[in-house]
């Protein structure tokens, strides 16, 4: 065990395991993976019973497109969700090599390395990844969270709490992971006899927004899923493209629906259509210039260039 690992206090263990809850921090306002989110039009048919294993399909996509950072990022996310953290780190490492200026990929790599580590709660390589992410985007939430974890593990509990409070102040009030972040602050404060209650109460958060990019867009109905399950795999993709096409048509009539544009970008990437995803980003930016930062952040996490 490393010297740093030997220093892990009860506080550090709480923070370390809280990190497992705070997954995917860099995806705009979504911090947990989308297990509790309605299925997107593009993924619903696949989940409804496609013959091909999703990870196997992503592995093939990466082999067929070795210079596609989005393919490697998607594979890394799939490995991560499956608990294959070493594999996730390897995939994210490829993604960062291909898109070295994307902060969210560096923080995703760092997170995978943290969870892959059996002894050291903050491997040096992971810490370096978070630092790299912050130099590229000082607002990257996942990097901010884990760098605060690093402070806590080093004994700077007050500094860690300060950083988490700052992160909380940038967290929309309806984000599904807000309670987990608050709980981490409360637990670390309690263990280290730091009164955090007044400071938590004083935090002013952004107005509630859609906690996940897909919330404003209805997922497929039960009838959609049943219909998809009965189709052969070759026809399931056609059904998915049809649902995505209908979403795109709705956005032409409602261009101010920012969540819808993010859903469209994500769906296009899932269908292996990065050019159309990039086109959707440009359309979204043109229609919503005031939301450009959020849209670009979501696009970066999806690997859209």
CATH number at residue 173: 1.25.40.10
Nearest to 281 by CA among 270, 272, 292: 292
Do residues 96 and 102 make contact, with C-beta atoms less than 8 angstroms apart? yes
Q: Indicate whether 214 belongs to any domain.
A: no
User: Who wins on pLDDT, 118 or 165?
Assistant: 165
Structure tokens at 87: 């594999």
Same domain, 83 and 131: yes
Structure tokens at 79: 């490995």
Q: Name the packing angle between helices 124-136 and 103-116 (round to 10°).
A: 160
Q: What is the CA 119 to chain-centroid distance, rounded?
A: 25
Average pLDDT over residues 88-98: 94
Same domain, 165 and 33: yes
Same domain, 92 and 236: no
Structure tokens at 130: 């978070």
Same domain, 170 and 240: no
Instruction: Look at residues 202, 232, 250 and tell me which one is the last residue of a structural domain.
Output: 202
Structure tokens at 143: 């990097």
Query: What does the radius of gyration of the chain's CA atoms come to, in whole angstroms?
Result: 20
Same domain, 35 and 168: yes
Task: Point out the least confidently predicted range of 42-56, 187-201, 211-225.
Answer: 211-225
Work out how many domains the chain is built from and give that number. 2
- Buried b / exposed e over 120-138, threshold 16 CB at 10 Å, is bbbbeebbebbbbbbebbe
Q: What is the CA 97 to chain-centroid distance, rounded?
A: 19
The DSSP call for residue 39 is P
Same domain, 63 and 123: yes
Q: What is the mean pLDDT of the chain?
A: 74
Same domain, 83 and 172: yes
Same domain, 192 and 235: no
Write the pLDDT tens digit of every residue in 125-155.
999 999 999 999 898 888 999 999 999 999 9
Same domain, 196 and 84: yes
Q: Indicate whether 212 belongs to any domain.
A: no
Q: Indicate whether 216 belongs to any domain.
A: no
CA dihedral 187, 193, 199, 201 (to 10 degrees): 60
Q: Indicate whether 109 belongs to any domain.
A: yes
What is the largest distance, in Å, between two alpha-carbon atoms of the chain?
60
Same domain, 154 and 20: yes
CATH number at residue 269: 1.25.40
Q: Can you tell me the distance from the alpha carbon of 270 to that of 267, in angstroms, rounded to the nearest whole number?
A: 5
Q: Indicate whether 32 belongs to any domain.
A: yes
Residues 6+ apart with CB under 8 A from 114: 16, 19, 121, 122, 123, 126, 146
Residue 184, exposed/middle/buried by CB under 10 A (0-12, 13-18, 19+)?
buried
Q: Identify the domain containing residue 110 by its residue range.
A: 3-39+53-202
Write the pLDDT tens digit of every residue in 205-260.
876 654 333 333 344 444 454 555 555 555 656 666 777 777 888 888 788 888 88
């Amino acid at each position: 065990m490393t010297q740093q690992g030997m220093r892990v206090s009860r506080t550090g263990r709480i923070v370390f395991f809280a990190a497992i809850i705070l997954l995917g921090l860099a995806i705009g306002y979504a911090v947990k993976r989308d297990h509790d989110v309605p299925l997107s039009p593009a993924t619903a048919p696949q989940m409804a019973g496609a013959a091909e294993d999703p990870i196997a399909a992503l592995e093939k996509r990466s082999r067929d497109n070795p210079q596609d950072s989005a393919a490697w990022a998607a594979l890394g996310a799939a490995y991560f969700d499956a608990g294959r953290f070493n594999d996730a780190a390897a995939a994210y490492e490829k993604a960062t090599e291909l898109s070295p200026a994307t902060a969210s990929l560096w923080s995703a790599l760092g997170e995978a390395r943290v969870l892959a580590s059996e002894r050291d709660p903050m491997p040096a390589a992971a810490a370096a990844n978070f630092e790299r992410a912050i130099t590229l985007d000082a607002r990257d939430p996942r990097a901010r969270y884990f760098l605060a974890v690093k402070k806590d593990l080093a004994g700077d509990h007050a500094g860690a709490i300060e950083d988490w409070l700052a992160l909380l102040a940038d967290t929309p009030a309806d984000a599904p992971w807000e309670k987990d972040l608050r709980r981490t602050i409360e637990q670390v404060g309690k263990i280290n006899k730091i009164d955090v209650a007044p400071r938590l109460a004083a935090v002013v958060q952004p107005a509630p927004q859609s906690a996940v990019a897909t919330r404003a867009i209805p997922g497929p109905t039960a009838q959609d899923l049943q219909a998809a399950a009965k189709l052969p795999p070759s026809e399931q993709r056609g059904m998915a493209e049809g649902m995505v096409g209908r979403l795109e048509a709705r956005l032409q009539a409602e261009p101010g629906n920012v969540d819808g544009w993010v859903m469209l970008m994500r769906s296009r990437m899932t269908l292996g259509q990065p050019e159309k995803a990039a086109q959707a980003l440009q359309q979204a930016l043109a229609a919503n210039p005031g939301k450009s930062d959020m849209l670009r952040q979501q696009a970066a996490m999806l690997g859209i260039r």
